[in-house]
Amino acid sequence: NWKMDHFIDKAVEKYKTELAGKKVLLALSGGVDSSVAATLLYKAIGEDLTCVFVDHGLLRKNEGDFVENTFKGRFGMNFIRVNAESRFLEKLAGITEPEQKRKIIGEEFIRVFEEEAKKLGKINVLAQGTIYPDVVESGKGDSATIKSHHNVGGLPDVISFDSIVEPLADLFKDEVREVGNKLGLPKELVYRQPFPGPGLAVRVIGEITKEKLDQLREADAIFCEEIAKHSSEEMTNQYFAVLTDLHSVGVKGDARTYGYTVALRAVTTDDFMTAEWTWLPYELLESASSRITNEIEQITRVVYDITSKPPATVEWE
């Protein structure tokens, strides 16, 4: 629609003037908002924009490479991928409490980002992919926080710069997607389901290890493939696998095994404040289950989460 065309032209023109000769830094997560903000600013100021993508090792299968290929490969942006997996895993070793995981990841993220920023020398402007609902939400008194989300705020305190730009601050999510489409971002990116900042750390229940993360990545990828194969993407707004810390007995071949239980979760929702579990087709669940247990040696059991929100939250942690 013409409104978003107009938005892009106006924003590009505005930032061309406003940011002329300035060094701009943006933390790119690969989510819709930061991706669209990066692409829009790149269109305006090109080389003067640097994007830092912190790969904390808690991403889904192939996700880091996909983000890198899109921005560095395809768009040719100044794009720095920081492979910080071992740093994060060290910090998370032995931690089982969900809120503590979130806190550690949030703090380490800021530290890594800050170190990268320092290497770049003087930064004039910090850019953020804040969208209108974030602005509204962070203005509210957060008296009943159920889970601490660290998408908004945090960064500005630790890096010295002169100002912040938030090019999407007036837009709703669907408008952000429309801008992303018009800017030529890949569909997979524009219609990405939400993914928590702490990533798979809150989908591996209990202690996080590389081994567990790898198993979860495989299970999650299989589930996503099956959803695509059964053309069921339209009926669910977020879907993923969870690696529970529950072991159960199984048989594989002739041997008795003692492996992990994977839970599959899919929800239907408008705003993620409330959500219904999705009535995925049995055939889909069947093929996901049999593939997961066949293809991943350590997984012996698959369950489907049939709890809505409330009382359950979308994520398990």
Residues interacting with ligand XMP, by CB under 6 A?
Answer: 102, 146-147, 149, 151, 194, 196-198, 238, 272, 309, 313-315
Give the nearest distance from C-beta 105 to ligand XMP in angstroms. 8
- Annotated ligand binding at 32? The verdict is yes
Nearer to ligand XMP, 43 or 203 (CB): 203
Nearer to ligand XMP, 238 or 268 (CB): 238
- Annotated ligand binding at 231? The verdict is no
- Annotated ligand binding at 160? The verdict is no
Give the nearest distance from C-beta 221 to ligand XMP in angstroms. 17
What is d(CA 60, CA 20) in angstroms, rounded to the nearest whole number?
Answer: 37
Give the nearest distance from C-beta 305 to ligand XMP in angstroms. 12
Nearer to ligand XMP, 54 or 125 (CB): 54
Nearer to ligand XMP, 98 or 259 (CB): 98
- Annotated ligand binding at 30? The verdict is yes
Give the nearest distance from C-beta 199 to ligand XMP in angstroms. 9
Give the nearest distance from C-beta 288 to ligand XMP in angstroms. 19
Nearer to ligand XMP, 128 or 151 (CB): 151
Nearer to ligand XMP, 146 or 251 (CB): 146
Give the nearest distance from C-beta 200 to ligand XMP in angstroms. 11
What six digits make up the tokens of 260?
A: 């992990």
- Annotated ligand binding at 33? The verdict is yes
What is the chain's length?
A: 317
Show binding-site residues for ATP. Answer: 29-35
Show binding-site residues. Answer: 29-35
